[in-house]
């Protein structure tokens, strides 16, 4: 762009900065929390058991395509014939790539993990470890642009998770075997998770673009302008929704897991 070479002051080396504040605090926190989540989610996804309890189903395993329990869509547990023999099989592995990909390509998480996991930059106005930089301009990170397709999948997952919360309100009476409406702590756990996931998904930048952001003349589309306004309000707090729903989804799995393992007992409210 510029015609002349720009003699800049010497670029600072990795981690060098004149900042006096704890600039490493936020990226470190991101590293620890996001890292812990990835480790836990991977571990939980490979377990292949303790993902359902009564009417509750762990969000990591929903939709449950194959499984022995009542939540299964296509009947009993079956390892698909095409599944490579050496790989451990778990029903979560069939579906977890979709919500995982949604989060991985989320604009907010991208900005956060480029800093925390790749030090590009380690923090604002702090020197970087590498000279070469491609950004999202070329392969591989240009692939982040598929985010909107993961959004479409995430919207389908919301439908499934809404159904799961509905199912989590119907308990089987052990005496008669009949279904009875009820609410347990697990119902609330799953419902809270659903609300947070709705807030996260509906504040997505790609959704905000889709429902109206792509327009220039809102006066010609008053309906879309309203929806766009609502998406903007959620989008303004996208970071909070992102963290809130990250915690809730892991906690929901943990809650169901501990119930199923018999470590804790569910408390019926209604």
Partner 1 sequence: MATATFRIWRGDSGGGAFRDYPTEVSEGMVVLDAVHRVQAEQAGDLAVRWNCKAGKCGSCSAEINGKPRLMCMTRLDTLNLGEPVTVEPLKAFPQIRDLVTDVSWNYEVKKKIKRFKPRPPDAADGTWRMQQAEVDRVQEFRKCIECYLCQDVCHILRDHHLHDAFIGPRFLLYNAALEMHPLDNEDRLQSLKDREGIGYCNITGCCTKVCPEHITITENAIIPLKERVVDRFYDPITRLFRMLR
**Cα four-point dihedral sign 186, 192, 195, 196:** negative
148 binds partner 1 (CB under 8 A): yes
What's the CA gap between 98 and 185, in Å, rounded? 27
CB of 122 to ligand FES, least distance (A): 22
How many residues belong to the site for ligand FES (CB under 6 A)? 9
What's the CA gap between 150 and 102, in Å, rounded? 5
Q: What contacts 85, CB < 8 A, 6 or more positions away? A: none
Q: Show contacts with partner 1 in window 86-125 (CB under 8 A).
A: 107, 110-111, 114-115, 120-121, 124-125
Per-residue binding letters, 8-47, with partner 1 (x by CB under 8 A): xx-xx----xxxx---------------------------
Q: Show contacts with ligand FES in window 91-110 (CB under 6 A).
A: 106-108
**Cα four-point dihedral sign 6, 10, 15, 20:** negative
| CA distances from residue 219 to 82, 141, 224, 229, 256 in whole angstroms, order as listed | 53, 36, 9, 13, 48
CB of 62 to partner 1, least distance (A): 26
Instruction: Count the neighbouring beta carbons within 10 Å of the beta carbon of residue 50.
Output: 18
| Pair of tokens at residue 119 | 């030090």
Q: What contacts 164, CB < 8 A, 6 or more positions away? A: 57, 59, 62, 71, 190, 194
Figure out which of the listed residues 80, 86, 138, 181 binds partner 1, where binding follows CB under 8 A: 138
198 binds partner 1 (CB under 8 A): no
Name which of 211 and 256 has its Cβ closer to ligand FES: 211
238 binds ligand FES (CB under 6 A): yes
Q: Which residues bind ligand FES (CB under 6 A)?
A: 106-108, 147, 151, 204-206, 238
Sites of contact with partner 1 (CB under 8 A): 1-3, 6-9, 11-12, 17-20, 107, 110-111, 114-115, 120-121, 124-125, 127-128, 131, 133-138, 141-142, 145-146, 148, 205-206, 208-209, 213-214, 216-219, 225, 235-236, 238
């Amino acid at each position: 762009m510029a015609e002349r070479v720009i003699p800049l002051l010497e670029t600072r080396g990795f981690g060098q900065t004149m900042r006096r504040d704890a600039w490493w605090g936020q990226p470190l926190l991101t590293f620890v929390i996001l890292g812990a989540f990835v480790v836990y989610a991977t571990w939980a996804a490979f377990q292949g058991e303790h993902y359902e309890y009564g009417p509750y189903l762990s969000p990591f395993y929903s939709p449950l395509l194959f499984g022995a329990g009542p939540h299964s869509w296509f009947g009993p547990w079956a390892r698909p014939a095409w599944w490579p023999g050496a790989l451990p099989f778990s029903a979560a592995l069939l579906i977890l790539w979709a919500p995982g990909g949604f989060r991985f390509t989320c604009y907010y998480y991208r900005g956060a993990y480029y800093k925390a996991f790749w030090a590009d930059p380690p923090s604002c106005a702090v020197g970087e470890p590498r000279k070469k930089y491609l950004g999202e301009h070329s392969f591989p990170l240009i692939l982040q642009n598929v985010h909107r397709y993961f959004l479409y999948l995430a919207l389908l997952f919301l439908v499934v998770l809404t159904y799961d919360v509905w199912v989590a309100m119907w308990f089987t009476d052990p005496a008669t075997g009949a279904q009875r409406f009820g609410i347990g702590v697990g119902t609330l756990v799953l419902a809270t998770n659903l609300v947070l996931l709705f807030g996260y998904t509906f504040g997505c930048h790609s959704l905000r673009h889709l429902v109206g952001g792509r327009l220039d003349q809102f006066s010609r589309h008053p309906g879309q302008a309203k929806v766009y306004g609502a998406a903007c309000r959620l989008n303004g707090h996208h970071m909070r929704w992102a963290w809130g729903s990250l915690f809730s989804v892991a906690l929901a799995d943990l809650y169901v897991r501990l119930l199923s393992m018999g470590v804790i007992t569910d408390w019926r409210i209604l």
